[in-house]
Chains A and B, each alone.
Chain A
Amino acid sequence: MNTIKNFWSKIASRFTFIIPFLAIVGPGIITANVDNDVGGIATYSIVGASYGYQLIWLLIIITIALAVVQEMAARMGVVTGKGLAALIRENFGIKITFYAMMVLIIANLANTVAEFAGIAAGGEIFGVSRYISVPVAAFVVWILVILGSYKYVEKVLLFFCLIYVTYIISGLMTNPPWGQILHETVLPKMTWDTNFLIVAIATIGTTIAPWMQFFQQSIIAEKRIKIKDYKYEQLDTHIGAFLTNIVAFFIIIACAGTLYKAGIKIESASDAAIALQPLAGKYASGLFAIGLINAGVMASMVLPVSTAYAVSEGFGWESAIGRKFKEAPKFFILYTLFIIIGACIILFTKISLIKVMLFSQTANGILLPVILILMLLLCNNPKVMGKHVNKPGFNVIAWVTVIVTIILTLMLILTSVFPNIFT
């Protein structure tokens, strides 16, 4: 009798965890998944096509780094109920906030342009002109945020997260050699040439971008997650970091098992989708392209929202997806301008996408060290965080993560500006 009782109480305790978790889940998983944007997919595709399975072990480090940084942003959002830009302004003043926002606007705008370029390239694989795919995508993401409530937008973004499964299926369709993958993950084979180093740095450097910390903290503040529910948000953040790297893992193995073996070099995610067709079949190629369009649509919504949140918080303007246009006009105008400019640049200019992405990478690289250090200072400030400041053990991990990320990001900028620096 007692065994049955224990069994049912165990089942009940699982449900008492699952139901509140489902109510909280969203900010962590959405933010981490959007990190696999057009630029991210391009990087992972190049990693797989250029070095096969050799760099898969990096994903373990990336998962830990992403989980550590995003957890701090999530904790600050839950404890203070404010976005990161608001905390920076209140604790470090107008000057640092102003310059940080200027760099964030430039970096995120360049990133948004790259996302629309991904939508255009993905659409063209299916024979859809960019003059149709880009305006349609821009209108859909715009109207969703303008008319939708926060809950609605979150549900749509979570649905978009599910579409990333196309990369997992696409990877599985290439019949990966699991034994070799496991062997190269546990005992990585290093090729210490300059390109290997640059690709390795780019893989880590592009994973943690400033918009992510601003976005996750802001939506947590808008969702008003309470401290008592923090454990669920923490789990959401950790699951997000894990899932996003699972997707990255399958992108790498899809390209490694096909393009690397055939010796095909690529420069972008759309190159990968096209090149996959004769090697892995039209379905694998199609799924890869659908994933690219999905990533572009999702990020072309999230990056402008992230910018609008950060700038509005920094200057004290009302910022919330759930507000009406007249209640938060500056927030929605910023969001609208970002989408219009991003889409128009892709439609009406012949800008080099590689240059745009390098520019965005450089701007992000300049901003990231500042943001990570400010985050650590805020997370260690009892006036801001109360008893939820970083624990000493976590602080060691956080500082090491932040310092390594900063060094790699600065190296990434150097390789972008001076391509032959490590030769």
Chain B
Amino acid sequence: MRFTRDIRNTILINFAGEKIGSVKDLIIDTSTKFPKVLYIDAELDRTDRIGNVDFTEPAKKIRILIPWDQIGSFRDYKEKKIKLKVHPHEIEMGALDYNKLLVGQHILDQQILNHKNIGLGRVDDVVLIEDGDKLVMVGLCVGVSGILQQLGFDFPVEIINKLLLLEEIKQDIIPWNYVLEYKPKKSQIKLRGKDTKDVLVKIVADNDEEAKKIVHKRKK
């Protein structure tokens, strides 16, 4: 189980382990039932060639979309590193169309509405799970736990909880299949339910087994 906070702003390294840029965002394909991550939106520090295109002078801070299948390793995400499978010269650049959304730009911080257009909260993060070599978006993080995570307060709160022998804080997740429609231009995501309580799944972060709860809820 991953969150976009684990991936956005991580370092992009080549197969030799050298830093070549950073990951700015993820692009998902909403035409499929469960949105798959298609590309990473990366900013390359410096390059003289991308695919077939040669630059007369090395391009600096250039933003490109790198297909997810050209990512070789995702294992080092905790060290904030993502490794490219191919040489930067072999990157096949992607392009955006109306079916594709940028997670950071179009989903994070957007308002969640119920079916009667009543505001319920905002998206604090999204939950991604690994499905073979694919990364699939399964839910939206909401509520206090999501805010604490985004503000970086989760660790001190966790320590206080342990000291006070309180229960582990659980993440509030809305499974993606409860999303009725999303309106990127209005920054709104509309749910099928009346209240978030109707659709929420509570999970422990960083536990892959827990992610099954979201999938299970999704299959109901």
Contact = CB atoms under 8 A, between A and B. Distances in A.
A312 interface: yes
A312 B109 CA distance: 13
Interface stretch (A33-41, A90-98, A103-111): A90-98
B111 A316 contact: yes
Contacts of A82: 187
B53 interface: no
A184 interface: no
Contact of A94 (B109, B118, B119, B120): B109
A112 to B, nearest CB: 24
A319 interface: yes
Contacts of B119: 312, 316-319, 328
B150 interface: yes
- Tell me whether chain B's interface is mostly helix, strand or loop, or mixed: mixed
B112 A316 contact: yes
B205 interface: no
Interface in B80-119: 108-112, 118-119
A317 B120 contact: yes
Given A89-B109, A90-B110, A94-B109, A316 B120 contact: yes
A7 B151 CA distance: 64
A89 B150 CA distance: 13
Query: Chain B: interface residue count, which band?
Result: 10 to 19
B121 interface: yes
Contacts of B122: 89, 94, 315-316
B215 interface: no
B157 interface: no
B111 A94 contact: no
Given A315-B122, A316-B120, A317-B120, A98 B151 contact: yes
A327 interface: yes
Contacts of B150: 93-95
B147 A94 contact: yes
A317 B142 CA distance: 12
B41 interface: no
B109 A93 contact: yes
B29 interface: no
B124 interface: yes
A120 interface: no
A323 B109 CA distance: 23
For A82, A93, A94, A98, the residue with the greatest tally of chain B CB atoms inside 10 Å of its CB is A94
A338 B82 CA distance: 47
B5 to A, nearest CB: 11
Given A98-B147, A98-B151, A318 B118 contact: yes
Contacts of A317: 119-121
A289 interface: no
Contacts of A323: 118
Nearest to B104: A93
Contact of A90 (B109, B124, B147, B151): B109
A317 B120 CA distance: 5
Nearest to B110: A90
A86 interface: yes
Contacts of A328: 118-119
Contact of B124 (A94, A319, A327): A94
B130 to A, nearest CB: 26
A323 B119 CA distance: 11
B161 to A, nearest CB: 20
A210 B21 CA distance: 39
Contacts of B112: 316
For B119, B124, B147, the residue with the greatest tally of chain A CB atoms inside 10 Å of its CB is B119
A95 B151 contact: yes
B15 to A, nearest CB: 33
A278 B151 CA distance: 58
A318 B111 CA distance: 10
Contacts of A90: 109-111, 187
A378 to B, nearest CB: 13
Interface string A301-326: 00000000000100111110001000
Contacts of A318: 118-120
A328 B147 CA distance: 20
A93 B120 CA distance: 17
Contacts of B108: 93
A316 B110 CA distance: 8
Interface string B178-214: 0000000001000000000000000000000000000
Nearest to A98: B151
A325 to B, nearest CB: 13
Interface in A64-109: 82, 86, 89-90, 93-95, 98
Q: Which 4 A-B pairs have the closest CB atoms?
A: A316-B122, A318-B119, A316-B121, A316-B111
Interface of A: 82, 86, 89-90, 93-95, 98, 312, 315-319, 323, 327-328
10 contacts: A90-B110, A90-B111, A94-B150, A316-B112, A316-B120, A317-B119, A318-B118, A318-B119, A319-B119, A328-B118
Given A94-B147, A317-B119, A327-B118, 17 more contacts: A86-B187, A89-B122, A90-B109, A94-B109, A94-B122, A95-B150, A95-B151, A98-B147, A315-B122, A315-B147, A316-B122, A317-B120, A318-B118, A318-B120, A323-B118, A328-B118, A328-B119
